[in-house]
Amino acid sequence: MKTPFLGPAYTARSTNLAANSAINLFPEFVDSKDGREVAGFFGCPGADLLATIGTGPHRGARVAQANTGLYVVSGNALYGVGSNFGSNLIGTLTTNAGQVSMIDGATQLLIADGTTSVYVRDFSALTFVTVTLPFNVTTLFYQDGFFLANEAGTKQWAQSNLNDGSTWNALNFSAADGQPDPIVGGIDVNREAWLMKGNGIEVWYNAGNPGFSFARIPGVYVEQGCAAAFSIVKYLAGPIWLGSGERGAGIVWMATGYKVDRISTHAIETAIAGYSIISDATGWIYEDSGHTFYVLTFPTGNATWVCDLTEPSRPWHQRAYFSNGAFSRHRMASYAFAYGREVFGDYQNGNLYAFDLNTYSDAGQTRKWLRSWRALPPNKASDKPLAFDRLAIRGETGISTPPATNPQFTLRYSDDGAHTWSPELYQPAGLTGQTALEVQFVSLGSTNRETGLDRTFELSGSDAIKIALLGADLDVR
């Protein structure tokens, strides 16, 4: 029979209910509905090292629309990066750690690092100046020639002079005072300024007023607030963000117009609830081979979760770095689509990478993938012991296996709801030319009435080979 191998990551509050992991694997569904299976698992992209820029950590990246150049903040410095990923130092910041906010207009790039300083790169004059504002800036955004900034910890936000991020009139500010909570961060969406507060969202527009140009849109207020300023990203008709509010925090929301939908699951929310700090969460959106991924990293929680926005069910999976036998958060600390590459910076050093689905390591570092799932289909739990004679993994094998290697798949199983596990079992995953190989594990023992009747499998691998998993068959009696 088919075992329910394919599916999203979903580990419930009790693993006896569901213990489905998907680490460095993402499901892809067959659009035409006429494939061998309705979906398959593919290995997440590896990382190609492009350059080492500064000392790190990477804190932000931005492609300026006016000149299509890539700019990155590494450590305490801003660098310009060319199409060959060579870099040149532009200027220095007063801070050397923490996420930065970057935004560009027609002639300037602005950077805020959480202090009163705003750093301005002029594309024409090639200058780099520091402007001091009377408040600490959390996020920068842009609309209609105005640079906009919110004051950390307050309801205040300010507007620069038209087309000049180096000049801020002290009178050109306003307060998002529909409710008393402070602004967490701001974003421009379809020429509207969304002021994301702790308990809700106010939406403003450019009313052309003298002085401060913006006015609140009457009657528009979104009840779901924001927990993390740098989780906010723009997607199609509205933003995506990690939510908070008067009733709690830790749900991921997506807006379409002013309609807000929950896109996280109970399993993702359970994981988020286990992190001691979520206000430091960072989010990015990138596209790859028709998929649009929302990447949400929790630095304190040491975890990265990814939602595939293109699939109707919006399945989630984990991205992870593997070192010293353990998974940790993905290395991604900044992102930009630059020079035709999906570019990201490292949160620990100055390395700049590119995602690549045909790279099977993280810049030479071993990558491990893992899938766990319940052996029996939903609602098919057995009330008697079962013997598991064979598990056959179907997929693409024998393609471009590195010479002189013998890649392996690793299997272990649990009969008590993924609390304790069997010893690891190994089977070859196919040499070059073994393109019709099924990876089979046999004589997998029996469940026991005293120790549990509901089996969970866990399949993994760490060899540098293409991973394309199409399903699994199980012989049981």
CATH number for the domain including 408? 2.60.120
Tell me, yes or no, whether 108 and 86 share the same domain.
yes
Residue 53 token pair? 């820029």
Q: Express each pLDDT in 174-197 by its tens digit.
A: 999 999 999 999 999 999 999 999
Tell me, yes or no, whether 336 and 399 share the same domain.
no
DSSP labels for 286-346?
Answer: EEETTEEEEEEEETTTTEEEEEETTSTT--EEEE-EEETTEEE--SEEEEEEETTEEEEEE
Confidence of residue 32 (pLDDT cuts 50, 70, 90): low
- Rounded Cα–Cα distance for residues 50 and 43 (Å): 21
Q: Express each pLDDT in 197-240 by its tens digit.
A: 999 999 999 999 999 999 999 999 999 999 999 999 999 989 99
Is 2 a domain residue?
no
Confidence of residue 36 (pLDDT cuts 50, 70, 90): confident
pLDDT of residue 452: 82
Tell me, yes or no, whether 420 and 317 share the same domain.
no
Tell me, yes or no, whether 351 and 382 share the same domain.
no
Confidence of residue 417 (pLDDT cuts 50, 70, 90): very high
Tell me, yes or no, whether 342 and 303 share the same domain.
yes
Tell me, yes or no, whether 148 and 175 share the same domain.
yes
Residue with tokens 């594990």: 441
Domain that includes residue 198, residue range:
46-356
- Rounded Cα–Cα distance for residues 333 and 60 (Å): 7
Is 1 a domain residue?
no
Tell me, yes or no, whether 321 and 461 share the same domain.
no
Tell me, yes or no, whether 471 and 338 share the same domain.
no
Tell me, yes or no, whether 394 and 437 share the same domain.
yes
Q: Are 360 and 43 in contact (CB under 8 A)?
A: yes
Tell me, yes or no, whether 143 and 270 share the same domain.
yes
The H helix count followed by the E strand count for the chain is 1, 43
Residue 216 token pair? 């609140």
Tell me, yes or no, whether 160 and 306 share the same domain.
yes
Averaged pLDDT for residues 286-313: 96
Q: How far is CA 298 from CA 7, 34, 197, 376, in A?
A: 23, 38, 20, 33
pLDDT of residue 56: 97
**For the chain, how many structural domains are there in total?**
2
175: domain CATH number is 2.130.10.10
- Rounded Cα–Cα distance for residues 265 and 282 (Å): 18
- Rounded Cα–Cα distance for residues 79 and 72 (Å): 5
Residue 125 token pair? 């004059």
| Cα Dmax for the chain | 79
Per DSSP bridges, beta strands 282-288 and 183-189 are unpaired
Residue 433 token pair? 């030319």
Residue that is last in its domain, among 308, 333, 356: 356
Q: Express each pLDDT in 366-397 by its tens digit.
A: 999 999 999 999 877 788 899 999 999 999 98
- Rounded Cα–Cα distance for residues 322 and 311 (Å): 27
Is 467 a domain residue?
yes
pLDDT at 22 over 80: yes
Is 275 a domain residue?
yes
Tell me, yes or no, whether 77 and 34 share the same domain.
no
Q: What is the mean pLDDT of the chain?
A: 95
Cis peptide before 57 (omega within 30 of 0): yes
Q: Express each pLDDT in 92-143 by its tens digit.
A: 999 999 999 999 999 999 999 999 999 999 999 999 999 999 999 999 999 9
Residue that is last in its domain, among 325, 356, 387: 356
- Rounded Cα–Cα distance for residues 40 and 468 (Å): 7
Of 65-69, 105-109, 229-233, 416-420, least confident by mean pLDDT is 65-69
